[in-house]
Structures are given as structure tokens and as C-alpha cells.
Structure 1
Amino acid sequence: MTQEASKHEIMGKSLVCPVCDHDEFWTRETLMNTAGASFLGFDWANKAAKNYVCNQCGYVFWFLKK
């Protein structure tokens, strides 16, 4: 699966990679698994975080809605 990288803003600020200074990212969602939910088979009930992955070096930002 190929995703197109683009520029993003978080709270009005341009997202820039702290490792390589690149400014284009692709996105994905990742479940924030907890041991209790996983043990009981309720992984689907965990919150999801939005990830921004640097298209140049692969650094990953994680943002979790409160």
C-alpha cells in the first residue's frame, strides 16, 4: 500500500521532522493497546492514535485525542 506524502499542520503550526527537517508526511492510525483489553480480547475498544510518518527518514509522530 502506497500513501501520498503531504504537508500537515497541527494546532496551526507546520509539522517538521525533528530528525531530518523534512516537511512531508504520510498518515496512518494505530491502536493504543492496553494489556487488560488485549487479555480480554477487546483490542477493538482501545483508542486510536493518528501517526504522521516522515516521508524521508521514517520518524513517527503520535497524536492521541483527549
Structure 2
Amino acid sequence: MSKHEEKLIVEGKEIFCPICGYDKYWTRETLMNTAGASFLGFDWANKAAMNYVCNQCGYVLWFLKK
């Protein structure tokens, strides 16, 4: 987990927080758990999403890797 503030640019467009309008985020990666993988103890095999957390209000934007 990184607490370093950075701007978020998606496809050339700067993304502002939809709640407070701030333009800086810190990032973390979150596993997208599925019931089947969790039941079998394979949570580590689930896909990961990148989260961008607004450094002002804490709103979380989720991006799944293609």
C-alpha cells in the first residue's frame, strides 16, 4: 500500500474525485474474491483491482486490469 499522493489519468483524462472534486489519490491493490475460490481456499488466485483512494475525502475508485 502506498500513501504517496498522485494524480489519476485515465486514457489521457485527469480524473477528479466525484464526491469532493480533489485531484490527488493514494493507491492500493484489492483482491476481487469469488465464492468458489474462497470456499476452496484459493483466494490468492482471484483477480486484483487497483484502488485509487481520494486523499481528501477517502472515496475509493476501483479499476480492474484488462
Give the TM-score category using the shorter length.
over 0.9
Higher strand share: 2
Runs of 4 or more consecutive aligned structure 1 residues displaced over 4 Å after TM superposition: none
Aligned to 1:56: 56
Q: Residue 19 of structure 2 aligns to a residue in which SS? A: coil
Distance in 1 of aligned mates of 2:58 and 2:44: 26
Residue 51 (structure 2) pairs with residue 47 (structure 1) = no
Aligned residue runs from structure 1 range 4-43, under 5 A: 4-43=4-43
Kept in 1: contact 2:20–2:57 (CA 8 A):
yes
Q: Output the TM-score relative to the length of structure 2.
A: 0.93
RMSD after superposition? 1.3
**Aligned positions, number:** 66
For residues 30-59 of structure 1, give each alpha carbon's deviation from its aligned partner in whole angstroms, at most 9, with x where no partner exists. 000000000000000000000000000000
Kept in 1: contact 2:30–2:49 (CA 8 A):
yes
Q: Which runs of 5+ in 1 are unaligned?
A: none
